[in-house]
Structure 1
Amino acid sequence: MQKNLCKTIYSEWVLRNSLYWMSAIAHWKIDESDEHWLVSFEGWNDEVEFEFERLLNDYKLREKLQAHTGQVRTSIIDNVLRSIDSRLAE
């Protein structure tokens, strides 16, 4: 079974993270064209399809959350590092 996924909808990060977890369920192969990711699965069935779609949705949501929270996370990290640095300087 081959799935064609539009690159404008699914980033490489989303796809590769999803496929990493799919390795425990099914063998897969990835190729690409200019506009699509071409993913072939060995042993395709409803369970494999459901899990792949679930992972794609999960990682797409994670990607959106990372984009919206990146500045806050960077600020927290900077504050923690400054705090550690000031404690070490004492």
Structure 2
Amino acid sequence: MLKKLDKTMYSEWVIRNSLYWMSAVTRWKLDEDNEHWLISFEPFNDEIEFEFERLLNDYKLREKLQAHTGQVRASIIDNVLRSIDSRLSQ
């Protein structure tokens, strides 16, 4: 089974993270052309397709959340590191 996904819909990060977790379920191969991710699964059935779609949706949501919270997370990390540095230099 060959699944063809538009690159404008899914980033490489989303595809690779989803496929990583699919490794426990089925064998897969990832290829690409200029416009699509080309993924083949062996074997392929409805359960595998459902699981892959679930993972794609999950990682696409995670990607959106990371984009919206990136600045806040970076600020928190910077503050924690400054606090640690301040305590160490005392």
Same fold (TM over 0.5): yes
Partner of 1:70: 70
Gaps (5+ residues) in structure 2?
none
* AA partner of residue 77 (structure 1): I
Q: How does 1:8-87 map to 2 (within 5 A)?
A: 8-87=8-87
How big is the shift at 1:52?
Answer: 0.1
Aligned-partner SS, 1:34: coil
How big is the shift at 1:69?
Answer: 0.2
Count of residues in correspondence between the two structures: 90
Q: Structure 1-normalised TM-score? A: 0.99
Displaced runs of 4 or more, over 6 A? none
* AA partner of residue 45 (structure 2): N
Q: Structure 2-normalised TM-score? A: 0.99
Same amino acid, percent of matched pairs: 80
